[in-house]
Amino acid sequence: MAAIVALVVALALVVVKVWAWVTTGSISLLTSAADGLVDVVASTVTFAGVRYAAMPADRGHRYGHGKAEAVAAFVQALLLAGAAVGLAVESVQRLFIPQALNQTGFGIWVIVGSSLAAAGLVAMQTLVVRRTGSTAIAADRAHYVTDVAVNIAVLIALLLEQFLGWSRADAIGALAISVYMLWNARGMAVHALFQLLDRELDEADRARIEAAVLACDGVQGIHDIRTRDSGDRIFVEFHVEVDGALTVEEGHAISDNAEKAVQRLFPSTDATAHLEPAGIKDERLDDLVK
């Protein structure tokens, strides 16, 4: 639902901003409209990514389809970066060859309305991200946070043009927006790559996992913790050490308890424990990492 609402709002804002750009000739409005067009494509990608990521595990994808959200977020980052570079070039040209604007008052009202719509959408998406942890919706929200900032920059540029006659304010505003878009694209790409490249959870989360397992009855040690964020779920694997004299059934019960303790730490977790007798000497991932 969040993806569909974002797509509808993005389409409406693009139409209105293009109309305002044609009317006023403002490069800042064109920058905002282009950013909105990227939002339309990004929201479409987000919708497809969220739908695909929601599919359950199947024969070909036994870890699920959660990384589709990270792919969608990375595509959004590329689109945003491409738009930013193109608009920056146009802004620099306008900086050296300024052009007079028309009907700036109309453009100001369009930007004010667009800002309110984008702010409402950001508020809705923030609630969705808190509830679901969706990477794709979070990336989409970053787009609309950018949109709010873009609209504010456009509004300032149009006000300076309207009331002070600063002919280059429009181009300067557009250039500042382009730089901000590029910075946002970088952050989105980095976050998506963390998931796509199976980056470990941070040290604080790893410490929580270790503490939860060691607190279980019968656990004498833990090593070789491996974690990754797959978008819809967090996967955790670890070796749990128990008394070697226990029966397989007793050891299995301890492992189950350890897995459940880890699953309680995060909203959606797939935990897998490998049972080992305490004190065994074998090749360990921890040693290889060190």
The CATH number of 2-196 is 1.20.1510.10
Q: Kindly report, as residue ranges, where domains of CATH 1.20.1510.10 are found in the chain.
A: 2-196
* The pairing of beta strand 221-229 with beta strand 234-242: antiparallel
Percentages (nearest 5) of helix, strand, coil residues in the chain:
70, 10, 20
pLDDT of residue 102: 54
pLDDT of residue 178: 80
Q: Is the pLDDT of residue 170 over 70?
A: no
For range 263-282, the mean pLDDT: 89
Q: Which two three-digit tokens encode residue 32?
A: 């905002």
- Give the number of other CB atoms < 10 A from CB of residue 184: 23
Closest CA to 198 of 219, 177, 222, 226: 226
Q: Is the pLDDT of residue 101 over 60?
A: no
The model's pLDDT over 194-252, given as tens digits with 9 standing for 90+, comes to 888 888 888 999 999 999 999 999 999 999 999 988 766 889 999 999 999 999 999 99
- Comparison of pLDDT for 127 and 89, the residue scoring more: 127
Average pLDDT along the chain: 81
CA distance 173 to 236: 46
Most confident of 2-16, 70-84, 266-280: 266-280
For 270, the 3-state DSSP assignment is strand
* The pairing of beta strand 269-277 with beta strand 234-242: parallel
Q: Kindly report, as residue ranges, where domains of CATH 3.30.70.1350 are found in the chain.
A: 203-289
The one-letter amino acid code at 89 reads V
CA distance 117 to 15: 14
Dihedral sign for Cα atoms in the order 9, 12, 18, 20: negative
CA dihedral 205→232→40→99, nearest 10 degrees, is 10
Q: The CATH number of 203-289 is which of 3.40.50.300, 3.40.50.2300, 2.60.120.200, 3.30.70.1350?
A: 3.30.70.1350
